[in-house]
């Protein structure tokens, strides 16, 4: 078997959340079988590089992953592509967004720091809630720091892969983020924007999940015909469009996302039924 499953992490491979075991037991069983049959996994995530490394140790598979929506591409543990922002350009976009949308939280993903948050411009209660949320993520949490100086230093001098802007947690704020994403894509055509619930993600031009997958396949001289793509959110749309025939969205994903795929599944392990269609898969 030469199949490659290109999968998102949060809401997809990591669904439902297992804060101690990391992966559901049915997902681990399926991955083990898929690996033994010659299949491979390519993680395609908005996360930075820290978590994919940790996950591959858990599943004991070769480190092949795409981080920050395509800004970093890794094959067999080696970085084969790395794209960063031009500092003045991303700072000007951030300045516009802060003035236009009153952004309460910004996060930088860079080579030096997994995640750097600015000082939160929210209430103390919300701030405490955010800290508690991170604490209770268990093995799913990532290294992050909250420091205004480091945040701006990274934008000025660091190798920045991605920036995330949070609009808020309410339905109204999430709807606002969705509409803002459309406006920003029209206004700033020299960078990539994607909507992810309460966040808008900003990546360098050409850094999309589909572009990352294509680069990885070309680098390794692999066929696009054996690729399956799986995700659940707006930043997965590019890979759904590129690999339409074998595209899968989690059924809890937004309707605006599901309209781009050929199949919906409830659990990641449901892919087993598509790969081994003649079998009765035990649930």
d(CA 36, CA 28): 12
The set of residues, in sequence order, having a beta carbon less than 8 Å from that of 143 and lying 6+ positions away, is: 50, 113, 114, 115
Number of Cβ within 10 Å of residue 144's Cβ equals: 15
Kindly state whether residues 225 and 249 are assigned to the same domain.
yes
Kindly state whether residues 95 and 198 are assigned to the same domain.
yes
Kindly state whether residues 183 and 265 are assigned to the same domain.
no
Q: Specify the number of domains making up the chain.
A: 2
Residue-level pLDDT at 160: 98
Residue-level pLDDT at 251: 96
Residue-level pLDDT at 277: 87
Kindly state whether residues 91 and 198 are assigned to the same domain.
yes
Between 127 and 231, residue with greater pLDDT: 231
CATH number of 137's domain = 3.30.1240.10
**Domain assignment present for 122:** yes
Kindly state whether residues 196 and 93 are assigned to the same domain.
yes
Assigned token pair, 27: 């997902």
Kindly state whether residues 175 and 91 are assigned to the same domain.
yes
CATH number of 260's domain = 3.40.50.1000
**pTM surpassing 0.75?**
yes
d(CA 269, CA 246): 15
Confidence of residue 273 (pLDDT cuts 50, 70, 90): very high
Decide which of 165, 186, 204 is a domain's last residue.
204
Kindly state whether residues 59 and 143 are assigned to the same domain.
no
**Domain assignment present for 47:** yes
Residue-level pLDDT at 1: 52
* pLDDT of 129 strictly over 70: no
**Domain assignment present for 118:** yes
Name 193's bridge partners.
202
Kindly state whether residues 119 and 164 are assigned to the same domain.
yes
Longest CA span, the chain = 58
Tell me if 69 sits within 8 A of 194, measured CB to CB.
yes
**Domain assignment present for 282:** no
Residue-level pLDDT at 44: 98
Decide which of 150, 179, 204 is a domain's last residue.
204
* pLDDT of 280 strictly over 60: no
The set of residues, in sequence order, having a beta carbon less than 8 Å from that of 80 and lying 6+ positions away, is: 73, 74, 215, 216, 219
- Is the N-terminal amide bond of 94 cis, ω within 30° of 0? no
Q: Across residues 203-230, what is the average pLDDT?
A: 96
DSSP for the chain reads: ---EEEE-IIIIITPSPBTTTBS-HHHHHHHHHHHHTT-EEEEE-SS-SHHHHHHHHHHT----EEEGGGTEEEETTEEEEE----HHHHHHHHHHHHHHH--SEEEEEESS-S-EEPPP-S-HHHHHHHHHHHHTTGGG----EE-HHHHHHHHHHS-EEEEEEE--SSHHHHHHHHHHHHHHHHH-TTEEEEEETTEEEEEETT-SHHHHHHHHHHHTT--GGGEEEEE-SGGGHHHHHHTGGGEEEETTS-HHHHTT-SEEESSGGGHHHHHSTTS----
Tell me if 261 sits within 8 A of 39, measured CB to CB.
no
Decide which of 204, 232, 259 is a domain's last residue.
204
Kindly state whether residues 123 and 103 are assigned to the same domain.
yes
* 78: containing domain: 4-83+208-275
Kindly state whether residues 212 and 79 are assigned to the same domain.
yes
Ranking 36-45, 51-60, 82-91, 118-127 by mean pLDDT, the lowest is 118-127
d(CA 159, CA 1): 38
């Amino acid at each position: 078997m030469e199949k490659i499953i290109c999968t998102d992490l949060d809401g997809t491979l990591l669904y439902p959340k297992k804060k101690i075991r990391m992966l559901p037991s049915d997902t681990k069983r399926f991955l083990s079988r898929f690996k033994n049959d010659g299949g491979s996994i390519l993680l395609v995530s908005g996360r930075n590089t820290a978590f994919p490394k940790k996950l591959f140790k858990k599943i004991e598979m070769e480190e092949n992953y795409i981080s920050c929506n395509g800004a970093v591409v890794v094959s067999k543990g080696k970085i084969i592509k790395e794209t960063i922002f031009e500092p003045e350009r991303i700072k000007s976009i951030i300045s516009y967004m802060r003035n236009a949308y009153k952004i309460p939280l910004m996060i930088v993903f860079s080579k030096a720091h997994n995640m750097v948050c600015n000082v939160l411009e929210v209430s103390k209660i919300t701030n405490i809630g955010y800290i508690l949320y991170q604490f209770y993520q268990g093995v799913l949490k990532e290294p992050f720091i909250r420091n205004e100086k480091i945040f701006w230093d990274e934008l000025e001098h660091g190798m920045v892969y991605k920036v995330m802007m949070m609009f808020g947690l309410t339905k109204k704020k999430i709807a606002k983020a969705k509409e803002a994403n459309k406006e920003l894509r029209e206004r700033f055509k020299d960078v990539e924007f994607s909507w992810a619930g309460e966040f808008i993600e900003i990546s360098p031009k050409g850094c999309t999940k589909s572009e990352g997958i294509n680069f990885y396949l070309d680098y390794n001289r692999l066929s696009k015909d054996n690729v399956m793509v799986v995700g659940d959110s707006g930043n997965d749309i590019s890979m759904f469009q590129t690999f339409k025939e074998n595209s899968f969205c989690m059924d809890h994903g937004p309707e605006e996302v599901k309209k781009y795929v050929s199949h919906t599944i409830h659990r990641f392990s449901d892919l087993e039924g598509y790969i081994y269609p003649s079998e009765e898969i035990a649930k």
